[in-house]
Amino acid sequence: MRESTNASATGKSLSQRNVRCGIWCDGLRWLPGIVAAEDIDAIRSAYAAWNRGDVNGLLEAMGDEVEVVPVLGDVVSADRFRGHEGVRHWYETVHSTLENFRAEVEDMIEIGDGRYLVKLRFSGDGKASGAPVALDAAHILTVQGGKAVRLVGYLSWEEAAAAAGITESR
């Protein structure tokens, strides 16, 4: 079992901490469960690949038929992206308007049935203006066979938690 940890106590960075695995009972109580280490590794490797600019590494962490529903679909000119070509297009679209774009994992909770709630901090610089851009958001990822098969973006942790049918203050 692996639970949320304090970064200063463990010396781990934000991207290495705050993983809680288990199930939500009745949407209210957290019951610790067995860690799905393969899933956690796939999720972390996908975000790490994105941050390195390694599109092929990103695709290795995703199933062939992955579906991505981005946080700001109107900004990337699509409500959803499908398959590896869709993910490649999503990546290129984001990076065509933002430089130094990063998606930092701040927290992650297993919510059951291969689904994970991931709290993120997006940051980068506008390509045209150079102005810094930052957004706190969340994803719900579904993982099957060690690969992400669905990613749905939300504008806040609370919105994603509500969509997952859970309540927890952050």
Split at pLDDT 50, 70, 90, the class of 34 is very low
- The answer, yes or no, to whether residue 22 has pLDDT greater than 90, is no
Question: Average pLDDT of the chain?
Answer: 79
Looking at the domain assignment, is residue 16 inside a domain? yes
2 within a domain of the structure (yes/no): no
Asked if the model's pLDDT at residue 67 lies above 70, the reply is yes
Share above pLDDT 90 across residues of the chain, in percent, rounded to a whole number: 56
Q: Which domain covers residue 106, as residue numbers? A: 7-163
Total count of domains within the chain? 1
Q: Answer yes or no: is 49 within a domain.
A: yes
For the residues of 32-81, what is the DSSP string, one character each? E----HHHHHHHHHHHHHHHHT-HHHHHHTEEEEEEEE-TTTTTTT-S-E
- The answer to whether residue 115 is domain-embedded is yes
Decide if 101 is inside a domain.
Answer: yes
Which domain CATH number covers 147?
3.10.450.50
